[in-house]
Structure 1
Amino acid sequence: MPAQPTGEVPPLDGSLPASAGVGAADRGLSLYVHVPYCRVRCGYCDFNTYTAEDLGPGASRDDYRANLSRELDLSVRTLAEVGAGDREVSTIFFGGGTPTMLDASVLAGMLTDIRARYRLAADVEVTTEANPDTLDPAYIATLVGAGFTRISLGMQSAVPHVLATLDRTHDPEKIPDVARWVKDAGLELSLDLIYGTPGESIDDWRRSLDVALANEVDHISAYSLIVEPGTKMGAMVRRGQLPMPDEDDLADKYEIADAAMTAAGLRWYEVSNWSTSAATRCEHNMAYWRNADWWGFGPGAHSHIGGVRFWNAKHPKAWSDRLLAGDSPGIGREVLSAQTREIERIMLAARIDSELRLDTLGPGSELAIRNFVNQGLLDAEAVAQGWFQPTLQGRLMADYMVRILTDYSV
């Protein structure tokens, strides 16, 4: 797992600088809950996760809800102190790990605990990530009854040998059943895919896309595999046991994905995300990309409130010990400079369809925009209307364009 970022040590009570509350009434508020438990640790994954049975008292699944309640109380108090409380929560996202490794009643109870402390919007989006082998109709019905609105299902691939390389344990044949259960229950469904796994052919990738789209879902996320140092897969690549993903292969698979999604009625709205309409986008992720306020609960979770970024102790035992002692689980923070916030605004908005207005860029950027149009990286009609809208090739070159644009804007 990656090391935590470096930053200043926050106060033991978790209090925020007064600047975090400035303008809070004009910003959205989202909540993220990190549930770190998994059945197995996948070889490619560098998220803060632990096999569920390896954690003892204080850090186990049995203790998680009570610990989360303590952090919820802390968050309400901390936000109120800087005048950033008493806002409607627009989105809640349970991620991991595998949140559905918890009993459905526990996951539902955690949402009840949130509702008791926060004012939720009438149309609040409540998502949980899930693995296909952790769901059945009864589990899903409990989530619906608690107020969940959306499930993000970790499909990753429909091809057994690709799943085996990723150390995924679910049966791909179960995907259609789970998709039907979720949709029959009235929940929105997103399928998460990964492309570029060592040994995955073009035909394998097409097969995964065909299976995903056959379920007539309204949202699909497709991410290129990144081999992270410190993971099992990273070690295998380093030893030559697996090949490093090829950049040309990744680009080809992205183009294949976009063509397949478009043909099925899904349009890209962020570089790695497609939906049938604006109404079926993942609003929680949009909050991240728009640099809204969010509080991250759980081991290793990160938060962002009014230009202050802070993060929790990574290990579940360290997280729970601090909460049991009445202290904040936060171990580091960074007050972002105006320059950093501007760089991040451009970097994130440039990945979203028509989110970045050209008149918010720095003086001199006009030449760069014209060059991007001439290179086929930006849509000329959108640019004429004042919007940054990458073409298909531009999405593949988004980082290149951002590096140039930020030179003009900071």
Structure 2
Amino acid sequence: MGAALPPGEPAPPDGALPDDLVVDPSTPFSAYVHVPFCRVRCGYCDFNTYTATELRGARRDAYADEVLREIALSRAVLGERGPLRPADTVFFGGGTPTLLPPGDLARMLAGIRDAFGLADGAEVTVEANPDTVTDAVARTLADAGVTRLSIGMQSAVPHVLAALDRTHDPGNVRTAVAAARRAGLDVSVDLIYGAPGESLADWRTSLETALALDPDHVSAYALIVEDGTKLARQIRRGELPAPDDDLQAAMYETADDALTAAGLHWYEVSNWARDDAHRSRHNLAYWRGFDWWGYGPGAHSHVAGLRWWNVKHPAAYAERLAAAASPAAARERPDEAARRLERVLLESRIADGLAVSEVVGEGRHAVASLIADGLIQGADAVRGRIVLTRRGRLLADAVVRALTA
């Protein structure tokens, strides 16, 4: 059921923004819809998700109507601060969004369109378990305005999927991609590397299988052991080995070589795209600090520097909205120093880089040594941008520490 929500000041029951908050109408606006339902809980996952036995009275078949109530609330709240901005991107994440009937996803997207409009060429993504994607599902989503399917492949190797507690049929990944293509949808494939028992040869097999699908976009994430997960308990008890940092680094380099050779180019540490048009504009909105409203239990939002997050459990979320109250649990307004730190943390991860002017104090003096150590590109730094080398991508956390010292 995910990690605990962060602390913060209480959010007002009506969801109103602070009186002195100034919303810039030129800042792009995005919508995120969290669908918290899963058939089973993967051992490594700490997202805010719930299986059927954990819903405590919350109803999956009522969920779309609950989100539509929050969409109406968001329109009223944002409408008080100036002209409403059309959504540049919409992302249905989870959980497993495609556990809902595709008509429910279509209704929620229509609710966003009716409330805010969609920008010309808006990117609309749905995350999908490969077992849940059929031609009918893909066609319904495409007809509703979805443009992109993000398919949770994770691995092509059965024993690796078993170590991750993934229950989908790996053969259904190809079926899901084919259905998405027939419906005219772009395709992203999600992979995880470094699972217990996964070898470099296993990882190569997964990469080759993914690339044979000719995806437009690939996300490849190193497995992280999160506190409170089944995987963390198994490692603590000695039942499974902890991820090997050196092996994960070799896997990253193998992925970068294979994806680059196949014509996909890195644009964020863990993401590669066929071209600029196939980058995830939604995720770039997060990394660039744009505005977004997150709908659903546990979803986080950000508008003009204000952040807030919803109550976690679907039942509590439904109760708030049934009472015509905001589902927001708490909020915070980071000061300029905290926001600068966040910009360094996020923008340094993308290929477009971080403006050197965002680095202050001792961090500015670290730039030369980072160039000398082969962690950032010297030519880009001369032009005023901090861009990671591949070695820098492997040591991105160390680069951020140096820049924020």
Same fold (TM over 0.5): yes
Give the alignment of 1:15-26 within 5 angstroms: 15-20=16-21, 22-26=22-26
CA RMSD in angstroms, aligned pairs only: 1.3
Matched to 2:115, the amino acid is: R
**Is 1:335 matched up with 2:333?**
yes
CA distance in 1 between counterparts of 2:20 and 2:256 reads: 42
Q: How many equivalent residue pairs?
A: 404
Deviations 1:35-74 (A, max 9, x none): 00011111110000011464354x2111101111111111
Is the 8 Å Cα contact of residues 193 and 221 (structure 2) preserved in structure 1? yes
SS of alignment partner, residue 117 of structure 1: helix
CA distance in 1 between counterparts of 2:63 and 2:172 reads: 29
1:317 aligns to what? 315
1:72 aligns to what? 71
| Identity percentage of aligned residues | 52
2:371 aligns to what? 373
Deviations 1:138-169 (A, max 9, x none): 11000011000001100000000110111111
Is the 8 Å Cα contact of residues 37 and 49 (structure 1) preserved in structure 2? yes
CA distance in 2 between counterparts of 1:34 and 1:124 reads: 19
Which of 231, 234, 238 aligns to 1:233? It is 231
Q: Cα offset for 1:132?
A: 0.2
1:128 aligns to what? 126
1:346 aligns to what? 344
Q: TM-score scaled by structure 2?
A: 0.97
Q: Cα offset for 1:317?
A: 0.2
1:253 aligns to what? 251
SS of alignment partner, residue 123 of structure 1: strand
List alignment gaps of at least 5 residues for structure 1.
none
CA distance in 2 between counterparts of 1:358 and 1:107 reads: 42
List alignment gaps of at least 5 residues for structure 2.
none
1:11 aligns to what? 12
SS of alignment partner, residue 155 of structure 1: strand
CA distance in 2 between counterparts of 1:268 and 1:209 reads: 15
Q: Cα offset for 1:367?
A: 3.3
Give the alignment of 1:160-175 within 5 angstroms: 160-175=158-173
Residues 19/241 of structure 1: CA separation in 2 closer, same or farther (3 Å cut)? farther
1:138 aligns to what? 136
Deviations 1:329-379 (A, max 9, x none): 111111111111111011100000123122332255453111111111112
Matched to 2:24, the amino acid is: A
Is the 8 Å Cα contact of residues 19 and 306 (structure 1) preserved in structure 2? no
Residues 53/135 of structure 1: CA separation in 2 closer, same or farther (3 Å cut)? farther
Matched to 1:169, the amino acid is: T
SS of alignment partner, residue 92 of structure 1: strand
- Which stretch shifts more, 376-385 or 345-354? 376-385
CA distance in 1 between counterparts of 2:282 and 2:48 reads: 20
Deviations 1:168-224 (A, max 9, x none): 111112222221221221111000000010010110000000000111111000000
SS of alignment partner, residue 18 of structure 1: coil
Which of 364, 387, 401 aligns to 1:403? It is 401
Is the 8 Å Cα contact of residues 34 and 296 (structure 1) preserved in structure 2? yes
Is the 8 Å Cα contact of residues 17 and 82 (structure 1) preserved in structure 2? no
Matched to 2:326, the amino acid is: S
CA distance in 2 between counterparts of 1:316 and 1:359 reads: 43
CA distance in 2 between counterparts of 1:336 and 1:8 reads: 12
1:82 aligns to what? 81
2:32 aligns to what? 32
CA distance in 2 between counterparts of 1:397 and 1:289 reads: 18
Q: TM-score scaled by structure 1?
A: 0.96
Is the 8 Å Cα contact of residues 18 and 82 (structure 1) preserved in structure 2? no
